[in-house]
Structure 1
Amino acid sequence: MKAIRRFTVRPVLPEPLRPLSDLARNLRWSWHTETRDLFQAVDPEGWQAAGGDPVRLLGSASAVRLAELAGDRRFLRRLAAVADDLDDYLHGRRWYQAHSGSAGNSGTTGPEFPAAVAYFSPEFGVTAALPQYSGGLGILAGDHLKAASDLGVPLIGVGLLYRHGYFRQSLSRDGWQQEHYPLLDPNELPVSLLREPEGSPARVSLALPGGRSLHAHIWVAQVGRVPLLMLDSDVEENGPGERDVTDRLYGGGSEHRLLQEMLLGIGGVRAVRTYCRLTGHLAPEVFHTNEGHAGFLGLERIRELGEPPESGGQGLDFDSALEAVRAGTVFTTHTPVPAGIDRFDRELVARHFGDRGELPGVPVEKVLQLGMETYPGGEANLFNMAVMGLRLAQRANGVSTLHGAVSRGMFAGLWPGFDAEEVPITSVTNGVHAPTWVAPEVFRLGARQIGTSRTEDALSVGGSERWDSVADIPDNDIWELRRDLREQLVMEVRDRLRASWRQRGAGAAELGWIDGVLDPDVLTIGFARRVPSYKRLTLMLRDRDRLMELLLHPTRPIQIVVAGKAHPADDGGKRLVQELVRFADDPRVRHRIVFLPDYGMAMAQKLYPGCDVWLNNPLRPLEACGTSGMKAALNGCLNLSVLDGWWDEWFEPDFGWAIPTADGSATDEDRRDDLEAGALYELIENRVAPRFYDRGAGGLPQRWIEMVRRTLTTLGPKVLAGRMVREYVERLYAPAARAHRSMDADAARELAAWKARVRVAWPQVAVDHVEALEEAAAEGTAELGATLALRVRVALGELQPDDVEVQAVAGRVDSDDAIADAQTSPLKPAGGPDLEGRWVYEGPLCLDRTGPFGYTVRILPAHPLLAASADLGLVALPTEATGEGAGVLMR
């Protein structure tokens, strides 16, 4: 019989146990070992049954057990100690307060760092108990919040609460991926409903076409010190279609996705305002858009600033408000290919804005201009969310050094006339939250070496001096730890494999072979990630006979654990999963290679520590960062990867191997995959496996152990999310906060008017003549260390010298006279205007490099409030008839 209504009955905790509720509702437990150990002590079997979720555990605990614990003095002492530790964590001064001059809870901040930052993302992977993530973007967002909490950064997370989350994955008998969408009840999750003072649920609303409205409640997950606001459209005031807007992560068609992203961006800003009003939290000075999905947040802030002062706004017109919004906005792109970006039909977007939809005071044409692909190769009728994100943010970044370069090339059309390296997109390489991903056994080994508090600091804050202490850990301890973690993984794999086969329809009598799957003394390789084609799940299967030889080698065998989900609409990805599963089902090798369905955080936390080698073989350069290898490295796992993402940046032979790539454009796809698979087999057979099995004194693989040690000491401090968040604060958030404070209403109006004036006048700006005054330059040669005196005549039209900067651009040149590693130096006005209205600029050019050397000159718009010279995408360059131009040969 099926219930007609569902609700949650919460336990009433005895008074001495009330702190358990606060501990369960703050997700710090998900990365704090002592808190998890305390909950496990409440009911060890119940903890296992609850999947390590304190909210579920307390919801199922018996009154008898709770009464028993309320009288257990030893347990109450532990509870008091853990509760006091949480209170100190939440209210003590941390890195941010120490470095910003912030007064902590007094409500004031120093001159450099922002009072608060709002961080928007479509998904957040904080813990398996709150399944609101699909892959790397969400896990990164969750790690960003946790690291910000550890550092004391006043962040507010903003996302959506999906009632079905992302799908759960299982396999059919023939290995085809199947999706399941279990319903999530927020009352059974570690979240609380934000309420108005009189007790009613706080909500935000959006206007939709046809006079409809989209309402959403705001759920709050407390991630340490950081509140995460999640909008939920499954509320009674909505019609059936609107209730389903937050049904599934990345589900539905174009309009469904558009409504999700409008709710995330526009509704998210309104949720932040509501939260700050109700809690007294400081209002954000900086808004961080994590990928283009949340880009509409900028439009809502433009609407706010356009409101009259009596309504809380500044009465700004669209262009002035845009400048004010850009000043305090940071945009992070995670996508290395245009196909990975959300794009909507122009008419669909237009229909949802303006007088008949949302933001009635914001001109629809202005909205559309922000997202249109108005550059060569762009599609005229598509609205590009990443393009809008870049146009709405004064600061933008990719997520690794290589990905920054890829992004500059991919979006270079937005800044015509500039070389890709000058496109104003920087990079902050991702990091991972070590307290979440480091196995307890690894943490305890560190604590024995340098103490618990110093180990916690090393994992959350960083500091190479703390990581250097790994060098003093005995070889035997490291090897025993690695063997213990491998054995734990073997047992985990067998349990999950048995459950998977039962779901596939196998009976107990068929599954005796599972007890022999994997061996805790065999070299173990892990591969787990989403399954788009570019990640090449099945590259290892290119030569199946060769792979079988590696798996079944008589003295140096390997074993492989694979996991991953294909998007529900990606049949190509599902075929890759099926191909891998069918190979792993082969009785000849099924004890050496396994595919585990339903990859998620809980599985990952066992998989990373238990593997000896982490494999990553994407198509270079399509991996934006690839943080799974970072998590593995923090547990002493070595990386075997294509030089892509973060591995391209930090690879050293001391702690892993680089898979050679066949990047040449002349190489077809099959040939390329054959070559790279062959290189992978070669590495495993001749370098990786021998190093693992080559045993020295005491039966230890000493060269392998030294690589593990180097991985921890060298990579450890680099791959931390704490390092990443510190970089965001210092390189992006602090400059954005300063720009935001400088951009008051008058400054915004002045800058918008200046930009409009410059754009109108720019067609008349030109480089008229360039000459170098030295004879040697005229002859085409010059001596190293010499200085050329340049004289340039320019036309500025209606502009004045204060509106522009005239630069010399110099560097080595190639056979096509393209300047590489260019350096710029400003030229100064030397007189003018002459009778023709031309200005003369002069300045020195130092010849500081030997070999073919060239220079040119250019004119750029210049204003004190511009964050980058390429900001407007305007540049004036010499023509062939201008003058001497480039091509000085040095000797």
Structure 2
Amino acid sequence: MKNLPEQYAHPYPFASKFKKSVVYFSMEFAIDQSLKTYSGGLGFLAGSHMRSAYELKQNLIGIGMLWKYGYYDQTRNADNSMAVQFREKMYSFIKDTGIRFQLTIQNRPVWVAAYFLPPKTFGSVPMFFLTTDTEGNDSWARSLSYHLYDVDSSIKVAQCMILGLGGMKLLDELNYQPDIYHFNEAHAVSGVFHLYKKLGKVADIKKQVVFTTHTPEEAGNDKHDINLLASMNFFNDIPLTEIRKITGIKDNIFNHSLVALRFSKKANAVSKLHGDVSRTMWSGHSGVAPITHVTNAQNSLYWVDEELEKARKKSDLKKIATRKKELKATLFKTVADQSGKLFDPNVLTIVWARRFAAYKRPDLLTRDRERFERIMRNTRYPIQFIWAGKPYPFDGGAITIFNQLYYLSHLFPNMAVLTGYELALSKTLKDGSDVWLNTPIVTREASGTSGMTAAMNASLNFSTFDGWICEFANDQNSFVVPVAPSYPEWERDNTDISNLLDILEYKILPMYYDNQAEWQKMALQSMNDVNAFFDSDRMATEYYEKVY
């Protein structure tokens, strides 16, 4: 059947250039603050895509997972160190479809239930969410859909099976056969083994599958022992000898991304630089799909402050400056509530906020302690710093960095480290920051998108030259750090620290305080440039034009 059952149908006629039917599989979606089905950038990106697809009247639906405990709630212990809390999430706005089916996982039958998010609830395309937390399952089976990115590797494999094989089974239950299956990352790759049983030929699968890779390092791609996967029924009862033949896997290492690339007609990286990195990374492997790039973007309708946007369209610099101070005052209520510190809307405010991961180097500027302290205590050019972001809940190293930054903030009334970095806080930080700091090791950030939504709200990017920044930044709209030599690592980091602090001390602070006209001109330029290309309407359109 080419159309969805009526109760799940799109609430609009399809735009003529977007009539091809697509199902978008993703482990996480950030659709709304109230729906905790995401951890970070991958979810923010997928959520923006679903919103833009709705606004553009595209024939696309989303399939994801309904995580009982979400990713986690970030709180603090009694001593203010970061605490990880898993709390059951309840939603009255997601509808039980009544659709239930079974998958075999580890030789056990597991019930999967499907829930539906109506398009008009949050302005997204029709969305289906799968869960095993349903009647008929024992506690082990129920636990498979408890934690996004479970720490137990066999449970994580089972989660990938629910998304991939389960998502395909859901489409059978709906009697819906789309033109294109789009895997956002390789989590749903088990779905190709459902299609293989149906279609019988890899060539026929390749006509319908496309794959988006977000991982710029070979080591970052999920790999598992092929025998473990076979024992879990990842391959949908297809004999291992046949699996080896159709996937081209000769040893015992099953690389999920490599198999996704071999079963796709087309693949894409998520920025121009990431495209170059990906093509080089996979060039030694046979049978992979051609890799283009569709640079990530975010949904401006969701992220932009309306008053700032009106002022941008009129090039009203005075209004932008006034509104920015109001938005800073709003952000600073959260700062005061969480940290007991009163920040000043007249003071330059820098924010570092994204997922806490080692390659993003959240603490980079603080490593030159003497110089960092000098800048923080400068009364002529005062500064305020805010950090926020969620480490993976079992990444002890990243949690330690988060805690060290928090304890460092005790020394400064103008430094705060916030908890609870989800859509709502992310929006407030972007609205209220003057400068959005981004410090990844170059080529390690496939795209990064937080700086886009900051720029949409008159915050200037201050970044190493990586990901989307390479396609956006120039000296009229951002502050970009020269690329440091990659090795040795200590020299790369020291060079980046020195360059970042030089730009901050000798360029950013003097411009903000001594040349506000220049600052406002730069902020407007940044807003115009980001709106020209980095709205997800462009991205969702490019997927149809370049990938589907």
TM-score range for the pair, normalised by the shorter chain length: over 0.9
Q: Normalised by the size of structure 2, how large is the TM-score? A: 0.94
Partner of 1:494: 336
| Mapped pair 1:532 → 2:357 | yes
Partner of 1:110: none
Is the contact between residue 372 and residue 382 of structure 1 (CA under 8 Å) also seen in structure 2? Answer: no
| Mapped pair 1:202 → 2:121 | no
C-alpha distance after superposition, 1:475-519 (max 9, x if no partner): 21121111111121112221233xxxxxxxxxxxxxxxx2x5321
Match of 1:97 among 10, 15, 33: 15
- The aligned runs of 1:600-639 (5 Å cut-off) are 600-639=422-461
Partner of 1:260: 159
Report the 3-state secondary structure (helix = DSSP H, G, I; strand = E; otherwise coil) of the residue aligned with 2:196: helix
Is the contact between residue 156 and residue 228 of structure 1 (CA under 8 Å) also seen in structure 2? Answer: yes
Q: CA RMSD in A?
A: 2.1
| Mapped pair 1:334 → 2:230 | no
Paired amino acid for 1:688: I
Deviation at 1:567, TM superposition (A): 1.0
- The aligned runs of 1:16-165 (5 Å cut-off) are 91-92=11-12, 97-99=15-17, 113-114=19-20, 116-165=21-70
Name the CA shift for 1:712/1:542 in 2 (closer, same or farther; >3 Å). Answer: same
Paired amino acid for 2:356: V
Higher RCO structure (Cα 8 Å, ≥6 apart): 2
Name the CA shift for 1:372/1:620 in 2 (closer, same or farther; >3 Å). Answer: farther
| Mapped pair 1:673 → 2:493 | yes
| Mapped pair 1:435 → 2:277 | no
- The aligned runs of 1:215-294 (5 Å cut-off) are 215-223=111-119, 224=123, 226-275=125-174, 277=175, 283-294=177-188
- The aligned runs of 1:855-870 (5 Å cut-off) are none
Report the 3-state secondary structure (helix = DSSP H, G, I; strand = E; otherwise coil) of the residue aligned with 1:335: coil
Partner of 1:403: 274
Partner of 1:888: none
| Mapped pair 1:300 → 2:205 | no
Gaps of 5+ in 2: 1-6
Partner of 1:839: none
| Mapped pair 1:518 → 2:343 | yes
Deviation at 1:259, TM superposition (A): 0.8
Deviation at 1:423, TM superposition (A): 7.6
Name the CA shift for 1:370/1:258 in 2 (closer, same or farther; >3 Å). Answer: farther
Name the CA shift for 1:153/1:546 in 2 (closer, same or farther; >3 Å). Answer: same
Deviation at 1:640, TM superposition (A): 0.4
Deviation at 1:615, TM superposition (A): 0.5
Match of 1:726 among 541, 544, 547: 541
Gaps of 5+ in 1: 1-24, 27-86, 101-112, 195-200, 306-315, 375-379, 417-421, 447-469, 498-513, 696-700, 734-891
Deviation at 1:602, TM superposition (A): 1.1
Name the CA shift for 1:171/1:156 in 2 (closer, same or farther; >3 Å). Answer: same
Is the contact between residue 174 and residue 582 of structure 1 (CA under 8 Å) also seen in structure 2? Answer: no
The CA distance in 2 between the partners of 1:119 and 1:482, in whole Å, is: 36
Name the CA shift for 1:549/1:372 in 2 (closer, same or farther; >3 Å). Answer: farther
Q: Normalised by the size of structure 1, how large is the TM-score? A: 0.58
The CA distance in 2 between the partners of 1:225 and 1:175, in whole Å, is: 38
Paired amino acid for 2:511: R
| Mapped pair 1:548 → 2:390 | no
C-alpha distance after superposition, 1:825-868 (max 9, x if no partner): xxxxxxxxxxxxxxxxxxxxxxxxxxxxxxxxxxxxxxxxxxxx
Is the contact between residue 112 and residue 132 of structure 2 (CA under 8 Å) also seen in structure 1? Answer: yes
Partner of 1:56: none
Is the contact between residue 536 and residue 619 of structure 1 (CA under 8 Å) also seen in structure 2? Answer: yes
The CA distance in 1 between the partners of 2:314 and 2:60, in whole Å, is: 37
Name the CA shift for 1:707/1:369 in 2 (closer, same or farther; >3 Å). Answer: farther
More moved, 338-347 vs 610-619 = 338-347
Match of 2:258 among 355, 363, 387: 387
Deviation at 1:548, TM superposition (A): 1.7
Q: How many residues are aligned here?
A: 539
Deviation at 1:369, TM superposition (A): 5.0
- The aligned runs of 1:693-704 (5 Å cut-off) are 693-695=513-515, 701-704=516-519
C-alpha distance after superposition, 1:72-120 (max 9, x if no partner): xxxxxxxxxxxxxxx9xx7455xx61435xxxxxxxxxxxx51x10000
Partner of 1:866: none
Paired amino acid for 2:363: T
The CA distance in 1 between the partners of 2:245 and 2:334, in whole Å, is: 52
The CA distance in 1 between the partners of 2:480 and 2:543, in whole Å, is: 29
Is the contact between residue 265 and residue 294 of structure 1 (CA under 8 Å) also seen in structure 2? Answer: yes
Name the CA shift for 1:539/1:189 in 2 (closer, same or farther; >3 Å). Answer: farther
Which structure is larger by alpha-carbon Rg, 1 or 2? 1
Deviation at 1:706, TM superposition (A): 0.5
- The aligned runs of 1:367-766 (5 Å cut-off) are 367-368=243-244, 380-415=251-286, 424-443=290-309, 445-446=310-311, 470=312, 472-497=314-339, 514=340, 516-586=341-411, 589=412, 591-665=413-487, 668-695=488-515, 701-733=516-548
The CA distance in 1 between the partners of 2:177 and 2:31, in whole Å, is: 24
C-alpha distance after superposition, 1:227-284 (max 9, x if no partner): 1111110112112211111010001412111111111001101112323x4xxxx631
C-alpha distance after superposition, 1:268-317 (max 9, x if no partner): 01112323x4xxxx631000000011111111111122xxxxxxxxxx3x
